[in-house]
Structure 1
Amino acid sequence: MNCKQLNTVNLEEVLLSLGHLPKKQNEKEAWFLNPFATENQASFKLDKRQNIWYLYSEGVGGNNIDFLKKYFNYSINEILSWASEKNFSSFHQQAKIEKPNYQITEVAEIQNWNLKKYLYERGLSQRSFKFLKEIKFTINNKKLYAVGFENLSGGWELRNSFYKGSIVKKDISIIRNNSNQIFVFEGFTDAMSFIELEDIFDKDILVLNSISMLENAKKYLQNYTDIFLFMDNDNAGLKCKNDILLSFPEAKDCSKIYKKYKDFNEYFIAERHNLLAGSD
C-alpha cells in the first residue's frame, strides 16, 4: 500500500478501527470527539464525500495520511506498515505487486566513521555495536548506508544522521537472554541505551520498531512473568502503554524515570552528560 492508496480508504473506517465512534452523522458528514485529546463536544468533522477531516478546536485538518501522522506521530513508512496490517474493507488491493525500489548491497560490522559518530552522539559505545550492523543499500538507485537493527522477519530498521526508515519486512526485534523478565522499548536506540546502563546485561528486550507492531508484540509478552515498559513520553507512546497495560495489568510502567524527556535515549544522553560534567 502506498500513500495514494491509503488516502482512498474511508477515513470513517480508520476511525472505527481505532475505537472512535461518531457522535452524530448524516450522508455528507460525521462528527467525532477530538481523537487527539480529551474534550466534551465533538469538534472533529469528517467530510464523507471528500474523505477529508477538519478539527475545529485546533484549526487543523487533511487526509488519511495527515490524520495518522498526527495520531501516532509515525513516519510515512510506519503509517503504511500499520495500514497494510489492517486489511481495510474499503481498500481494494491492486492485483499487480510492485517491485521493491530498494536493494541491500552489503551487511557488515560497523566500520564507517560517520555511523560510529552518529552512535556516539546518541550516547552509545562499542558495547552496543555487537547488536547492530552497517547496512549498505540503494533506494531508487541512490547509494546509502546506515546503522541497521534486524527484526524477527529479517527486515532492518535503518538510522543515520540524515535518514530514518526500514527496508524488507516490518516486525518487532527481540534480544534473548533466557530471562523471565522482558523490557519493552519503541526504538532500538532506547534499547541500546538501556544496555549501556546495565553492568551485567542478562534480561530479554523487545523492540517494537513501530507502534503498529503492538499486536505482534503481545504474542511474545504473554510468555513473560515480568514486563517493564519504556514507551516514549508522547501521545503515541501513551496510547501504546495503555494498550499493553489493558492486556497485561501487571506490567510495570517505567516512563516516570525519564518523565522530563521525550524518550529513554534522550534521558540517557542527558544523564551521561551530567555524569561526565560532574567528573571534571
Structure 2
Amino acid sequence: MTDKPTQVLSCRQARDLDMVAYLAWLGHTPARIRRQDYWYCSPLREERVPSFKVNRHLNRWYDHGMGEGGNLVDFALRYHGGPLRHCLQELAHCHLSPVLPRPVAAAPAIPAPSLRVVARHSLSCPALCRYLQQRNIPLEVARRFCIEVTYQLYGKRHRAIGFGNDAGGYELRSPHIKLSSSPKSITTFCRGSHQVVVFEGFLDFLSWQHLCPQADPCDAMVLNSVAFFARARPLLTSYRQVYLYLDNDAAGERCTRQALSLGAHVSDERPRYDGEKDLNDWLVHRGTELRPRA
C-alpha cells in the first residue's frame, strides 16, 4: 500500500494552522503562559529571557527582540529560510489543525514594543566593560564598532552595548539582555574589497577582529539575525569570495546551506571553530587563533 501524498496547503490554509501546536512540533515549549499569551525563548535567535510571544486568540506571533511579527506563514519563511513552496510543504507534513474561527472585529493588532533609545555615549559603564571582558573582547576593539546606549523599556531605563545597523537601529547586549531597537537590519562595512566575511552576530564579528588582526582588509557583513539572509543575498552575489562565519546550530546550518547554493565562491568557515557554538565561544573557551583553512 502506498502512502497518501501530503496535501498541498494554500497560504490561507497555512496561516490558520495552530501556531502553538507548530512550535511544539518543532520542539519549542512556552516559558510562561499568561491568559492568551504564550511566551517563548525566540526560535529565530539565541536568547535567555523569553521575548517571543504568541497570542493564542489571534494566532499571531511577535518577537520583541527583533521587532517583527506576523502569522504562521511569516514565521515559517523566517524559520526555514524560504522559498514559500518549501515552507508550505513543511507545514503540510506536520498535519496540524486550524485554530477555531474568530471574529474579524475581535483581532486588534499586537502592540509594538516600547523600547526607545534615549542616549548614546562612548563605552564606559563598568558592568558592560566587565561583560566584554568575560567574552574576551578587548575594550579597544569594541569601542571601534560599538557605543553605550541608554534605552527605555516599559518605563524603565537601562544601559547596553549598542551595535548599529544600516537602517539606524541598534543591536543591544548586556549581561542580562539581548534586544534590538527599530528599525532592524543588517550591518555592512564596505572597503571596496572583492571579498566579504559574514557573521551572524556582532560579538562574532568583534571576535574575528581580535583573532585576525593581520587579515587582509576585506568587507564585512553582520546579519544580526539569520532571518535577514534574504536581505543580504543580493549583496553577497556581487562578491568574488564570501567567507561564512555562522553559528554551529540548526539555524546556522540552514543559513549556510542557502548561502552555499549561491555558488563555489561561498566558503563555510565553521570547521575553523568546530566544537564551539560560534566564533565568540571559541574565543572565550579556546582563546587561540582559529584553525587554518583546509
What TM-score results when the alignment is normalised by the length of structure 2?
Answer: 0.66
Deviation at 1:61, TM superposition (A): 6.8
Deviation at 1:176, TM superposition (A): 2.3
Identity %: 25
Counterpart residue number, 2:164 = 150
Q: Identify if the C-alpha distance between structure 1 residues 226 and 156 changes in structure 2 by more than 3 Å, giving closer, same or farther.
A: same
Q: Identify if the C-alpha distance between structure 1 residues 233 and 97 changes in structure 2 by more than 3 Å, giving closer, same or farther.
A: closer
Residue by residue, what CA displacement relative to the aligned partner does 1:147-168 show, whole Å, maximum 9, x if unpaired? 0000010010000000111011
Task: Note if 1:199 corresponds to 2:167.
Answer: no
Q: Identify if the C-alpha distance between structure 1 residues 23 and 231 changes in structure 2 by more than 3 Å, giving closer, same or farther.
A: farther
The 2-side partners of 1:100 and 1:68 are apart by: 16
Counterpart residue number, 2:189 = 175
Structure 2: segments with no counterpart, 5+ residues: 31-35, 53-62, 78-97, 99-103, 290-294
Q: Which residue identity is paired with 1:236?
A: A
The 1-side partners of 2:39 and 2:165 are apart by: 27
Counterpart residue number, 2:273 = 258
Deviation at 1:179, TM superposition (A): 1.5
Q: Identify if the C-alpha distance between structure 1 residues 188 and 244 changes in structure 2 by more than 3 Å, giving closer, same or farther.
A: same
Counterpart residue number, 1:53 = 21
Structure 1: segments with no counterpart, 5+ residues: 1-21, 28-45, 276-280
The 2-side partners of 1:166 and 1:121 are apart by: 21
Kindly tell me the number of residue pairs found equivalent between the two proteins: 231
Counterpart residue number, 1:13 = none
Task: Note if 1:231 corresponds to 2:199.
Answer: no
The 1-side partners of 2:27 and 2:125 are apart by: 45
* Cα RMSD for the two superposed structures: 3.9
What TM-score results when the alignment is normalised by the length of structure 1?
Answer: 0.69
Whose relative contact order is higher, 1 or 2, with alpha carbons under 8 Å and at least 6 apart? 2
Task: Note if 1:106 corresponds to 2:119.
Answer: yes
From 127, 132, 136, the counterpart of 2:150: 136
Q: Which residue identity is paired with 2:271?
A: K
Q: Identify if the C-alpha distance between structure 1 residues 67 and 136 changes in structure 2 by more than 3 Å, giving closer, same or farther.
A: closer
Mapped contact 1:81–1:212 kept (Cα < 8 A): no
The 2-side partners of 1:150 and 1:238 are apart by: 25
Q: Which residue identity is paired with 1:199?
A: P
Q: Identify if the C-alpha distance between structure 1 residues 134 and 23 changes in structure 2 by more than 3 Å, giving closer, same or farther.
A: farther
Counterpart residue number, 2:255 = 240
Q: Identify if the C-alpha distance between structure 1 residues 142 and 251 changes in structure 2 by more than 3 Å, giving closer, same or farther.
A: same
Q: Identify if the C-alpha distance between structure 1 residues 108 and 52 changes in structure 2 by more than 3 Å, giving closer, same or farther.
A: closer
The 1-side partners of 2:238 and 2:226 are apart by: 20
The 2-side partners of 1:133 and 1:112 are apart by: 10
Counterpart residue number, 1:268 = 283
The 2-side partners of 1:260 and 1:97 are apart by: 40
